[in-house]
Amino acid sequence: MKKVAFFDTKPYDKIWFEQLKDKYDFEIKYFESKLNSDTAYMARKYDAVVAFVNDNIDANAIDVLYENDIKIIAMRCAGYNNVDFKAAYEKVHVVRVPAYSPFAVAEHAMALLLTINRKTHRAYSRTREYNFSLNGMIGFDLYKKTVGVIGTGKIGQIFMDICKGFGMNVIAYDPYPIKDKGIEYVELEELFQKSDIISLHCPLNKSTHHIVNENSLKLMKDGVYIVNTSRGALIDSEALLNAIKTQKVGGAGLDVYEEESDLFFEDFSNTILQDDTLSRLISMPNVLVTSHQAFLTNEALQNIAETTLDNLKGFFEGSLLENEICYQCDKKAVCEKDHKEKCF
């Protein structure tokens, strides 16, 4: 029986992993601590590590894991920008869950848009205090509005389908356009200029870091709505805050935040939040922040557990690692090994 060290554990993480672990013949030790260079030693005497998007898997953490004979890190998420792949290459294999439930994330993106537009979050608070005034609650029809989608992977495509169901005009930008899908691609600058609503569904890398910034915000329509359920650092938070204050941005729905790693998934309700930018964003009446919960459906949690455990099983059995990522993958659009063998 292989032993697995599971980091950054929350109660909902255990639901499906506990149900499935015996099927895969794994023993799992759950740690509440995040995985980083200070906690990596806790994986000693284990055969594998399961990590999450807010763990800090830098070169030092990789070295500690490697010194403790850990040969694989299974990310129970799609994102992996928190992993130092150059340090991991030829030391520790890294696998992920590429598509746990694109429907969950796309649906949450639409939920954010509907909420900030129609002010249902404010209505909920008002009516609980028996305030039935409609002042300040005006929204707009989504019908015929233009939504610009940045990133047309599975989540982006599903979000576009949802928007079409509302009768919206959909345009998209992606450096790697998908053919034969009927997607109307435009250049990024044109998307910024034409969109009433912009939704981000792209990965975080050097080219997309702060893709929404002071300059791109200037190109956008006055009163544009911005939704981000992808990665926080796609948006320059200070620039967004200033654009909201000047009413350049009419509303923002944010499930991610660029400095979220030490904040999201934790309870700080009895403390004073030290992040002034996040505090000011949350205080805005036309901003809705959720704490990286877009993925959180029962179906997604089941898929995450099954894929993560399948990834580990495949590694220990010497099978093809379809969901492996490595330094080579990170450097090129398509890994030269094409996942027909392990990355090293």
> Catalytic positions, please?
231, 260, 292
Q: Which two tokens stand for residue 38?
A: 């200070």
Separation of first and last alpha carbons in the chain: 25
Q: Order across the sheet with 2-6: list the strands.
A: 26-30, 2-6, 48-51, 72-75, 93-95, 324-325
Residues 6+ apart with CB under 8 A from 80: 94, 96, 325
Q: What Å distances lie between residue 161 and 6, 72, 152, 167, 187, CA to CA?
A: 36, 37, 11, 10, 20
DSSP H/E element including 109: helix 102-118
Using CA atoms, how far apart are residues 278 and 74, in angstroms rounded to an integer?
Answer: 30
Which has the closest alpha carbon to 64: 90, 86, 34, 36? 36
DSSP H/E element including 66: helix 59-67
User: By the 8 A CB rule, do 104 and 300 touch?
Assistant: yes
- CA atoms in the 13 A half-sphere facing the CB of 273: 18
User: By the 8 A CB rule, do 20 and 309 touch?
Assistant: yes
Using CA atoms, how far apart are residues 192 and 171, in angstroms rounded to an integer?
Answer: 10
Helices (H) and strands (E) counted in the chain, each on its own, are 12, 12
- Residue 146, classified by CB atoms within 10 Å of its CB into exposed (0-12), middle (13-18) or buried (19+), is middle
Q: Tokens 């939504």 correspond to what residue?
A: 147
